[in-house]
Structure 1
Amino acid sequence: MSAQFDREEENALAHIAQFKNIAEIDSIGCVEWTVIYEYDKNYKADKFFYSAILNKNQTEAALSRKTWDLSVGQGTPSFTQRHDMRGDITTYDRFGMDNVEPLVYFRNFHGIKPDQFDLSEEFRLFHNLYFDKNSNNFIYIDGRGNEVIVAEIGDKKVRVLTSFLKKYLAARQMNLAVFFDHRANSDLSLLEVNNLAEPVEFSSKDRCYSLGFGDGIFSGKTFSRLLGKKIIYAPPIEACGVWPYEDAEKKEYKEFIVGIDAEGSLIKNTCDPDCLANYFGSNEESSHYLTPVWFSRDVLEKYYNNPGKYSVEDGYVRCGSLWGIQIDNNIPDHVMVYLGDLGRDLSSEEQGHWVNYNLTPSDRTPSKVNFERSFNAKFSIPSEPDLLFKYLYQKLNEKWMEKNGWHLFREIHSGDEHIIKQVRLLFSNNLGEFDHQILFLVKLLIDYLNESQLVSACGGALPDEKGIGKLDRYLTKYNYPHRVRDIKLLRLLQNLRSSGAAHAKGGRFDRVHKDIGLDKKSAPEVFREIMEKINKMLNDIHDFFFNEDD
C-alpha cells in the first residue's frame, strides 16, 4: 500500500511540477517538426505555444524576461503615434511593433466568420508553397516533382518542418522565439505542493522560463504555471539552400545496357553526357550520346498512373514543368531513349526507375516516326494506336469547332482531365485493365458527345433518343458513308461498358467478349484492334467533313 501511495505522490509531483513539459523544451527546434502555435485545454492542464521572429538585437532583450514578446493576435499592420515638439507623429507599422513579427497570424472576424490562422506570406513565398485547401497543409514541390508537407494548419495546432523553418531563418538571419505558457491543475493543497516541489527560475543562452505555484481562486485547485521561451537561432546564411547558396549535390549517373559481348555478357555504359562520344570527337572510346537504350513499356506505367503529376505524350514524358525527356514510344511493347538524354534530362532517382526496366538491344530498331523526327526534322504523326487516338481526337474536335462553331465532343471537364492522359494500350493481359480503358474510351467518345448541338443541327430532339442515336441521325443527314460501321463500333463500346466495365458480369458479358474475340485472343491484342478501329472512324469523319481543306 505504501509503494502505491508513493507512486501516486510521485505522479502527482511530476504533473504539478510539469517535468514532461520542461523536458520538452530541449526538443524545440531539434526534431522533425516545430510547433509554432498550439492551444489545448482540459480539466487537468492547459498547453499553450506561440512564436515570433526576432531580429538579433531583440533576441538578447527577449532572453532577459520570461514574458512573451508577441501575443496571439498581435503583429498585424497598424499605425503608431508618438509626440515631440512638432506635435503628434503618426507612422505606419507593417507588424505593429519593432523588431518582432509573427510566423503565424491569428485572425478573428467577430464571430461572423470562423477564426483562422494564416502562415506568414513571406515564409510561403520564400519556399514557394502550395496551399491544399482540402487538407489545410502547405506543400513544397521539389525538383523531382515530389510533394513535401511543410506546414500543417489545424484548429488547435500549427506546425512546420524544422528543416524548412531553419532555411528561412538562415536566409533572413533572424531567430525564432517559441513561447510557452503551460498550466497544470492538482487536487493537492498548495501546502502539499510546496512540500513536494520548489519554484524554478532558469536562464541560458537559448531559453528562459519560470515555474511557479498558486491557488486557483475560482477553480479551488492548486495550479502551476510554466512560462518562458526558447530561441531557435538562425544557421549561417549559406544554409538557406537557395541561390546563390543552393546545395551543390553532385549528380550520380546510372549505367544502362547498350549491348552484348561475344560471351553473351551485358555491356553497360554510363549515361553521363560528358563521358559519351559525340559528333565533335569527344570520348571516342565510349558509347555515343545517341546510342539507343531499350526498355519494356512497363516503365511508363508509373507516369500513366499519376496524371496529376506526369504526362506521357507522343515522344515525350514530362513531370509538370520540372523535367521532361524525349522518348520513342511509337514501338509496340517497347520504349527507346537515347543514352545521353537519360543522363542529361533525368535525375539520379529517376534514372534508377528506368534502370529497372532496361532491356538488351537484341534486334530492336527505333520507330520510323522517331527517325523522321530526330534525323530528318520532319513532322510525323504517331503510329501507335493510343498516341494516334489522342492526336486524331484533338484534331477532329479543333477542326469541327473551327468550321461549325461548336465541338463535336464537349470540352473535357476539369474533373475528367486525367482521362485523356491515361488512355493507353494495355500493359498486361488483364481484363480489369481492359475494362478500365474501355470506360475511358466510352466517356470520351460517347458521354462527351455534344448532344445539344447535334440535336439542334438535326432540327430538334426525338423521344428517348440517346447520344449515339443523335450522332447517327446527324451522320445520316450528311450522308456519311461509314455511318453503319461507326455507329456499330460505338454501340459495341457501350455494350462493353454496360456488360462488364460498369456492372456485374454475366451471360451478356460472355457473349460480348466472345463477339470481340476475347475468347481466342489476349486482352492487349483485342484492345489494340479496337483502338485501330476507333482511329479509322475519327480519321474518316475528319476526311469526309473537311476533305476540301486537306
Structure 2
Amino acid sequence: MNKDNRIPSILRGFTGKEELRKILSFLAFEDWITEEETKSSDWIVAARSWKEGTNNFFTFSALASATKDNLERLLSKANWDVQLEFGKPFFYVCDGEKKAHYDPGLEAEIGGIKFRPFVIYREFHGFISNTFELVQNFILYHEAFFVTEKNEYQRIDDDGNIRPIVRIKQENNNRLVLIDAHHLKDYLAANQCYLVRYHDHWRRVKEDISEHIKGKFASYSLGDESSCFELWLRTDIPMNGYQSSSSILGKDVIFPYSEPDKCHTWFATGKREKKFAKFIISRDEQGNDVEFTCNEEELSNHYVDRGTPSFFTPVYFNREVLIKYYQEPSRYKVSNSGIGCLDLWHLPIDITEEELVHVWLGYLGRIPYREQLHWRQFNVSPRGTITRHRFFRDFMVDLAEPTDDPVYYFQVAFEKIQLEAKARYGEELFLDLDEKDRHAYQTLHLPLTEEWKEFDELVQVLAKITVDSLNVRLLSHESGQKIDKRSIKGSIDLLEVYLRKIGVKDNTRLQIIQPLRTVQTIRSTGAAHRKGSNFDKELQHFGLVKLSNSAKVKKLIIDLTDALSLMLEAISQKETSEDEI
C-alpha cells in the first residue's frame, strides 16, 4: 500500500454543514485515525477494552515475523489474522481422529506468517472482570517487576535509573495497557517481529445519516503503509434512540528498531558507548577555572604518565550534591566514605574540613554520565586539602576512622549499646525501626543546607531513632515501674528511673537524660508543630539559638552520642558488679 487512504471519501469531498461533518467525522473515527497511535514516541496502546459514552474501543496485539512479504500479506486485508483466544494452550482433534492433540499456544503459522502471542485476553465467565496479560517473555527480557501501588511494570537500567515500561489503567470494567515505545521496539528488534495491533471499535449517534451514505449501509476500505481497516457506516440497526452507528475493523503495525538496544549486546564487542563530563581541577594564573575530563583512559596513573592530570586529582563539590541520594534510600546508600546505587555503581567520597565533598577525578568517570552531570552542577574550585583519614585510607591502606564525622560516632555508640543491652537483658534498649522507618537511621546526616525544612526533618529523625524507640517494656521490667502519666509521664522519665535503679549518679544521669529531653522538646515545640516563642525559648535554654542549623544538629548528635556512651558504661559496670557478687 503506497498511499495514505485513511479518511473515507464521504469526508474527503464533503461540502455540507459543519455540524453534519462533525457527526460523520465522529462516526468515521477521524479523530482516532489522525492521532496516529503507531507513531507515538512515548506510550503505545497494546491492548484496550474501553467503553465511554457512545465509544466502544477494543484493541488486541500479537507478534508477527518481520519481513517485507509478511507486511504485504498483513495489510492485504482488514480481517483479523488471529483469534482473540490466541496465546492460550488448548487441545484439538484432527479430522477423522479420536485422539486429542495439545497445542501450548506459543506460536502459530497462519496464511504463511508465523505469529506469536504478545497480549493474552482472559475471560472469567463474569465472575471477575476480563483482563489482558502480557507474555512473560517481554517482562523477562527487560527484567521488569510489577509495582502494585502504581499498577505498572518497571525496570532498572544499567545506570540504576528506575523506568516504567508498562502502564495498566483500569476504571471499573475498562482496561488499557500501554507499553513504553522504546522498550517495545527494542524487544521487537531482538525478536525480529512486528507488533500487529488488531482493532474492533464501535460508535453511535442519535442523528440519521441515511441520506448522506445513500442508503442504510456503506463500507469503506482505509489504510496506509502500516494499516488496513474496513469502516462501516449504517442505519439499519437502530438501538435505544441511536439511529446511526459505525464500526472500524482492522489492524496496524508497529515496526521494530533496526537492531536491539546496545545495552543488551555491548559485551560482544567489548566496548560500551560512554560519555564523560569535565570537572574543575584547579585555577590558572589568572584565576580562571581549569577543567579536565574524568575519562580515566586519558588520565595519568601510578603506572602510566600521559602528561595529563592524575587519576587521583582531587575534585570538590558543595554538599548539596548529596541531597538527591539521601532522598531515595531504597536505591542509594550514602556513608561517610561513599555513595552506592544498588549493586550497579559506587563512588568513594569524603567530607573535608571546608565542608566540601571530595572525590578523585578518575572515580567520577566510573559512574553513569547522567550522574556525572548531576555532580557537575555542584562542582567548585579547589579549596582546602583532603583529610588525613582519606590519605591514610587511600594511600596507606589504613582504615582510619573519620574523626570529624559525628554521625559515624553516633551510630557506633548506638550499635554498641544495642549489643550490650541484648547481651545483658536479651532485648535491645531501643526498639528496631519498622521497615518503612529504617531509612531514618540509614540516612541520618548533618544538614546539607540551612533550610528549616531540613532541620525539622533531621530533628524528627533523631527523635524517632532515640526517644520514640526506647524499649518501655524492658525499662519497666528492669526498674519495676511503669508510665503512670503523673510522676513517670513518658519513656524518658522511665529511663531516668531505670538509671537511678542501676546506681547511676545524679550528675551522670543528667548528662544522659538532658540530650534526649532536648531532642524531644525541640521536636515538640518546632519540628512537629508551628514554631513560635516557645520554640525560641527552648533554643535559648539549650544553648542552640546562636548556632547555624547545621551546628544545631551537630550539637544534638554529639550530645546524644555522649549520652549513649555513658549509658553503655553504666550498663557494663552493672554487669561487672553483679558478676563479682
TM-score (normalised: structure 1): 0.89
Matched residues in 1 for 2:49 and 2:56: separation? Answer: 7
Matched residues in 2 for 1:317 and 1:135: separation? Answer: 28
Match of 1:310 in 2: 332
Task: Quickly say closer, same or farther: Cα 1:117–1:545, change in 2 above 3 A.
Answer: farther
1:261 aligns to 2:280 (yes or no): no
C-alpha distance after superposition, 1:225-252 (max 9, x if no partner): 2110112233444457512589966322
Matched residues in 1 for 2:347 and 2:193: separation? Answer: 41
SS of 2:46's equivalent in the other structure is: strand
SS of 1:264's equivalent in the other structure is: coil
1:350 aligns to 2:367 (yes or no): no
1:506 to 506, 509, 532: 532
Matched residues in 1 for 2:130 and 2:419: separation? Answer: 48
Task: Quickly say closer, same or farther: Cα 1:405–1:119, change in 2 above 3 A.
Answer: farther
Give the conservation status (yes or no) of the 8 Å contact 1:330–1:369.
no
SS of 1:262's equivalent in the other structure is: coil
**% identity of equivalent residues:** 27
SS of 2:245's equivalent in the other structure is: strand
Matched residues in 1 for 2:141 and 2:42: separation? Answer: 20
Match of 2:412 in 1: 391
Task: Quickly say closer, same or farther: Cα 1:88–1:56, change in 2 above 3 A.
Answer: farther
Question: Which shows bigger deviation, 333-342 or 207-216?
Answer: 207-216
1:81 aligns to 2:103 (yes or no): no
1:477 aligns to 2:477 (yes or no): no
SS of 1:415's equivalent in the other structure is: coil
Task: Quickly say closer, same or farther: Cα 1:543–1:79, change in 2 above 3 A.
Answer: farther
Match of 1:271 in 2: 294
Match of 2:132 in 1: 117
Task: Quickly say closer, same or farther: Cα 1:184–1:403, change in 2 above 3 A.
Answer: same
Match of 2:8 in 1: none
C-alpha distance after superposition, 1:81-138 (max 9, x if no partner): 33566x5142241458665444233334444445443332211111122322112122
Match of 2:214 in 1: 195
- Residue 293 of structure 1 and its aligned partner are, at CA, apart by 1.6
Matched residues in 2 for 1:297 and 1:187: separation? Answer: 66
SS of 2:38's equivalent in the other structure is: coil
1:451 aligns to 2:475 (yes or no): no
Question: Which shows bigger deviation, 88-97 or 315-324?
Answer: 88-97
Matched residues in 2 for 1:117 and 1:402: separation? Answer: 55
Task: Quickly say closer, same or farther: Cα 1:225–1:240, change in 2 above 3 A.
Answer: farther
Matched residues in 2 for 1:300 and 1:351: separation? Answer: 13
Give the conservation status (yes or no) of the 8 Å contact 2:407–2:444.
yes
Give the conservation status (yes or no) of the 8 Å contact 1:52–1:69.
no
Task: Quickly say closer, same or farther: Cα 1:238–1:297, change in 2 above 3 A.
Answer: closer
- Residue 449 of structure 1 and its aligned partner are, at CA, apart by 1.4
Give the conservation status (yes or no) of the 8 Å contact 2:512–2:566.
no
1:488 aligns to 2:520 (yes or no): no
Matched residues in 1 for 2:256 and 2:189: separation? Answer: 5
Counting only pairs closer than 5 Å after superposition, residues 143-542 of structure 1 correspond to structure 2 as 143-155=158-170, 156-189=175-208, 191-195=210-214, 199-202=219-222, 206-214=226-234, 215-216=236-237, 218-219=239-240, 221-239=243-261, 241-244=263-266, 250-283=273-306, 285-329=307-351, 331=353, 333-343=355-365, 345-362=366-383, 364-383=384-403, 384-459=405-480, 461-464=482-485, 465=488, 466-481=490-505, 482-542=508-568
Matched residues in 1 for 2:452 and 2:244: separation? Answer: 69
SS of 2:45's equivalent in the other structure is: strand
Question: Which shows bigger deviation, 165-174 or 54-63?
Answer: 54-63
Matched residues in 1 for 2:163 and 2:102: separation? Answer: 40
Match of 1:140 in 2: 155
Task: Quickly say closer, same or farther: Cα 1:265–1:63, change in 2 above 3 A.
Answer: closer
- Residue 179 of structure 1 and its aligned partner are, at CA, apart by 0.9
Give the conservation status (yes or no) of the 8 Å contact 1:80–1:93.
no
Task: Quickly say closer, same or farther: Cα 1:222–1:359, change in 2 above 3 A.
Answer: closer
Match of 2:6 in 1: none
Q: Which runs of 5+ in 2 are unaligned?
A: 1-13, 577-581
Matched residues in 1 for 2:413 and 2:89: separation? Answer: 56
**Matched letter for residue 510 of structure 2:** V
- Residue 47 of structure 1 and its aligned partner are, at CA, apart by 2.2
Task: Quickly say closer, same or farther: Cα 1:347–1:263, change in 2 above 3 A.
Answer: same
1:19 to 30, 37, 40: 30
Give the conservation status (yes or no) of the 8 Å contact 1:180–1:229.
yes
Matched residues in 1 for 2:475 and 2:460: separation? Answer: 23
- Residue 455 of structure 1 and its aligned partner are, at CA, apart by 1.8
Task: Quickly say closer, same or farther: Cα 1:505–1:207, change in 2 above 3 A.
Answer: closer
Matched residues in 1 for 2:63 and 2:72: separation? Answer: 13
**Matched letter for residue 521 of structure 1:** L
1:50 aligns to 2:65 (yes or no): no
SS of 2:324's equivalent in the other structure is: helix
- Residue 462 of structure 1 and its aligned partner are, at CA, apart by 4.6
- Residue 446 of structure 1 and its aligned partner are, at CA, apart by 0.9
Task: Quickly say closer, same or farther: Cα 1:21–1:502, change in 2 above 3 A.
Answer: closer
Q: CA RMSD in A?
A: 3.1
Matched residues in 2 for 1:271 and 1:313: separation? Answer: 23
Task: Quickly say closer, same or farther: Cα 1:459–1:346, change in 2 above 3 A.
Answer: same
Matched residues in 2 for 1:330 and 1:107: separation? Answer: 60
Give the conservation status (yes or no) of the 8 Å contact 1:212–1:226.
yes
Give the conservation status (yes or no) of the 8 Å contact 2:512–2:562.
no
Give the conservation status (yes or no) of the 8 Å contact 2:407–2:446.
yes
Give the conservation status (yes or no) of the 8 Å contact 1:140–1:148.
yes
Q: Which runs of 5+ in 1 are unaligned?
A: none
Give the conservation status (yes or no) of the 8 Å contact 2:187–2:260.
no
- Residue 326 of structure 1 and its aligned partner are, at CA, apart by 0.4
**Matched letter for residue 503 of structure 2:** N
- Residue 294 of structure 1 and its aligned partner are, at CA, apart by 1.8
Task: Quickly say closer, same or farther: Cα 1:221–1:331, change in 2 above 3 A.
Answer: same
TM-score (normalised: structure 2): 0.84
- Residue 513 of structure 1 and its aligned partner are, at CA, apart by 0.9
**Matched letter for residue 291 of structure 2:** K
Matched residues in 2 for 1:105 and 1:398: separation? Answer: 54
